[in-house]
Amino acid sequence: MSKIKSFVAVVLALTMVLGLAACGGGSNGGARKDIIMVTRTEPSNLDPHNNTYLTAFMLEPMIYDRLVGKTQEGEIYGILAESWEYLDDTTIRFKLHEGVKFHDGTDLTADDVVFSIQRGETATGSKTFLQYFDGKNCKAVDKYTVDIKTYNAFAPALTYLASARGCILSKAYVEKVGDDVLAREPMGSGKFKFVEWTIGDKVVLEKNPDYWGEEKALVDKFTCRFVSEDASRAIEIQTGACDLALYITAENIENIEKADGVHVETTNSFEGHFVGLQTSKYPFLQDVRVRRALAYALDRDAIVQAVDRGIAETMQSHFSSSLPYWIPVYSYDYNPEKAKELLNEAGWNWDTDIEMFTGSAGQTFMEAVANYWKQIGIKCHITVSSDSTVTSSEKGVPVYYLTSNANSGDPDHGVFNYTSKSNGVAVYQAEEIDRLLAAEKAEIDPAKREQLFHELQKVLNDYCGLIPVSTPKCVYGVKDDLKGFVPDHGYTPDLTKLHW
């Protein structure tokens, strides 16, 4: 008996010690020179060129500097670039600030800029943005002057350089440590230095006291925590355990508003949630009447209300209404009779069973869509993938859930789905779309570009390759005392200006 007792005592003591040791320090934002933010998804890495996570897009500009930045209103302002000018349609000359130092003390020069553009042009995460830049022909004219070249005249060039993919890396550092270490231990020239990354838990940044610019960071420490459960995130801000929470869902807004010391800030987003129609592989989707019928069959307002419960608006075009050059063009208002009529006209085979696919994030959305189609007699069934990030290409299904976030704020970003043609978007008989896409990218004159986008949106509406449904709002939970927070349409607010 005593043997058991003593054993138990020893194990208990050991466990207590281990337990307290493993739990680590218990700081939760008591001293107010630090900020804790909670968001939904942990990025796979913090390499500006190798991921497409919104979380990374927020953190990278804190650690790194970009050549230029962009305000909420769409104006470009210089960060590393003191000034710039267009030498010709495809060349921009930037004059860099002198005396900019990376966190390891080395100078940031034109060579680093050229290196970053070249690397980003072909890297998986940044290709979609930087493929238009001609890395080979970018030149460091002198230590602080660099010429950036694009393959063709490219209207969104500065906007894309202002995105997180435009972060400037240290050539020496990347060459020394290699891509894999860079992914986990970023080092830049920004207002914050990277401290640590506990996988599955948080990323910690600290103030860079030697920041070259005039405006230094206003807090000493910044922690970004990853909490994937929606309800848990809401609790964190509600109980004051964090200072800023992203991706608050509709039902939690009221509770947060009622709680003391915190409130909710909402703004429209650059996102679009669509029903994707893979025209390239499925003949039955190649008839435009069928696609339009599928659109007529949906009561989009009801779907938006059910899925987003008041924090979204029904899309009236093929990208968010907050993007420049937006016009309302959507013409397929809810009309189940018309849908049936069109399907019969197109010779629709009512025995066809449409396969639908979505990740877990789009489940409610697709269930609602399937329901409306079933109501007019279309047979369909949904496969839900357990991973919320997987997309349909893996499955190659005819109908899928598609989201896009034109995070950079340029309407070209808003039509990325059509440019990239992934998921079979607008591949079949879409020459007119392709022509207009190429034209808008190359058109530098804003007035003319606006006209092109108006035309493009009308064509996209007629083609009906995707059914746009909702643009959700960005919902942030914010502590009342937190200053300097500007809700961002792209769900990537500028975190460097936060302070108490």
Partner 1 sequence: MYKYIIKRLIYLIPVLLCVTLLIFTMLYITPGDPARMILGNDASDEAVEQYREELGLNDPFWTRYFRYLVGILHGDLGTSYTTKMPVAKEIAERFPTTFVMALLVTIFGTLVGVPLGIISAIKQNHAVDYLATTVGLIFVSMPSFWLGLMMIVLFGVKLKWFPTSGWYGPQYAVLPAVTVGLTGIASRMRMTRSSMLEVIRSDYIRTARAKGQTEFKIITGHALQNALLPVVTQIGMAFGTNMGGMIITEQIFAIPGLGKMMTDAVNQRNHPVVQGGVLWIAFATSIVNLIVDVLYAYIDPRLKAQYVSNKKKKAQAPKEAKAEGGAAA
Partner 2 sequence: METNQKVKKKSRFREVAHRFAQRKMAVVGLVIFACLLLMALFAPMIAKYGEDEQDLANALAPMSAEHPFGTDVVGRDLFSRIVLGSRVSLFVGVISVSIALTVGGTLGAIAGFYGGKVDNLIMRFFDVTHAVPTMILAMCICAALGQGLFNTMLAVGIASCPGYARMVRASVMSAKAQEFVEAARANGASDGRIILRHILPNCLAPIIVQVSMGVAGAILSAASMSFIGLGIQPPAAEWGALLSGSRAFIFNRPNLVFFPGLFIMLTIFSLNLIGDGLRDALDPKMKR
Binding site for partner 2 (CB under 8 A): 229-231, 234, 249, 251-252, 254-255, 299, 302-303, 305-307, 309, 360, 363-364, 367-368, 371, 382-384, 386-387
One-letter amino acid identity for 95? K
Backbone angles phi, psi at 292, to 5 degrees: -65, -35
- 315-344: contacts with partner 1 (CB under 8 A): none
Candidate residues 76, 123, 177, 241; the one interacting with partner 1 per rule CB under 8 A: 241
Pick 198 or 383: Cβ nearer partner 2: 383
CB 138, CB 82: distance < 8 Å? no
In eight-state DSSP terms, residue 84 is E
Candidate residues 229, 351, 431, 480; the one interacting with partner 1 per rule CB under 8 A: 229
| Residue 11 interacts with partner 1 (CB under 8 A): yes or no | yes
Which among 183, 185, 229 has a CA at the least distance from the CA of 204? Answer: 185
The Cα–Cα gap between 71 and 243 comes to 23
Please, what is the minimum distance in Å from the beta carbon of residue 273 to partner 2? 15
3-state helix, strand, coil in the chain (%, to 5): 35, 25, 40
Pick 11 or 87: Cβ nearer partner 1: 11
| Residue 128 interacts with partner 1 (CB under 8 A): yes or no | yes
H or E element: which one contains 333? none
467: left (phi over 0), alpha (psi -120 to 50) or beta: beta
| Residue 405 interacts with partner 1 (CB under 8 A): yes or no | no
Q: How many CB atoms lie within 10 A of CB 334?
A: 16
The partner residues of 193 in beta bridges, in order of sequence, read 206
Q: Residue 371 binds what, of partner 1, partner 2, none (CB under 5 to 8 Å, by partner type)?
A: partner 2
Q: Residue 227 binds what, of partner 2, partner 1, none (CB under 5 to 8 Å, by partner type)?
A: partner 1
Read off the tokens for 84.
């710039």
Cα–Cα–Cα angle for 171, 172, 176, rounded to 5 degrees: 120
| Residue 227 interacts with partner 1 (CB under 8 A): yes or no | yes
The Cα–Cα gap between 394 and 351 comes to 25
Read off the tokens for 304.
């938006």
Please, what is the minimum distance in Å from the beta carbon of residue 296 to partner 2? 17
- 106-125: contacts with partner 1 (CB under 8 A): 124
| Residue 201 interacts with partner 1 (CB under 8 A): yes or no | yes
The Cα–Cα gap between 496 and 169 comes to 18
Q: How many CB atoms lie within 10 A of CB 30?
A: 7
| Residue 30 interacts with partner 1 (CB under 8 A): yes or no | no
| Residue 274 interacts with partner 1 (CB under 8 A): yes or no | no
Candidate residues 215, 349, 353, 386; the one interacting with partner 1 per rule CB under 8 A: 386
Please, what is the minimum distance in Å from the beta carbon of residue 310 to partner 2? 11
Burial class (CB in 10 A: 0-12, 13-18, 19+), 9: exposed
Q: Residue 309 binds what, of partner 1, partner 2, none (CB under 5 to 8 Å, by partner type)?
A: partner 2
Q: Residue 152 binds what, of partner 2, partner 1, none (CB under 5 to 8 Å, by partner type)?
A: none
| Residue 236 interacts with partner 1 (CB under 8 A): yes or no | yes
- 37-56: contacts with partner 1 (CB under 8 A): 44-45, 52
Pick 388 or 422: Cβ nearer partner 2: 388
Which among 328, 414, 319, 312 has a CA at the least distance from the CA of 368? Answer: 312
Q: How many residues does the chain have?
A: 500
| Residue 195 interacts with partner 1 (CB under 8 A): yes or no | no
Pick 150 or 238: Cβ nearer partner 1: 238
Pick 96 or 245: Cβ nearer partner 1: 245
Q: Residue 198 binds what, of partner 1, partner 2, none (CB under 5 to 8 Å, by partner type)?
A: partner 1
Please, what is the minimum distance in Å from the beta carbon of residue 223 to partner 1? 10
Helix (H, G, I), strand (E, B) or coil at 204: strand
Read off the tokens for 483.
């200053």
Backbone angles phi, psi at 185, to 5 degrees: -130, 80
Please, what is the minimum distance in Å from the beta carbon of residue 327 to partner 2? 28
Which among 82, 112, 83, 84 has a CA at the least distance from the CA of 98? Answer: 82
Give the footprint of partner 1 on this chain (CB under 8 A): 1, 3-4, 7-8, 11-12, 15, 18-20, 22-28, 44-45, 52, 124, 127-128, 180, 183-184, 198-201, 225-229, 231-233, 235-236, 238-239, 241, 386-387, 389-394, 420, 422-423
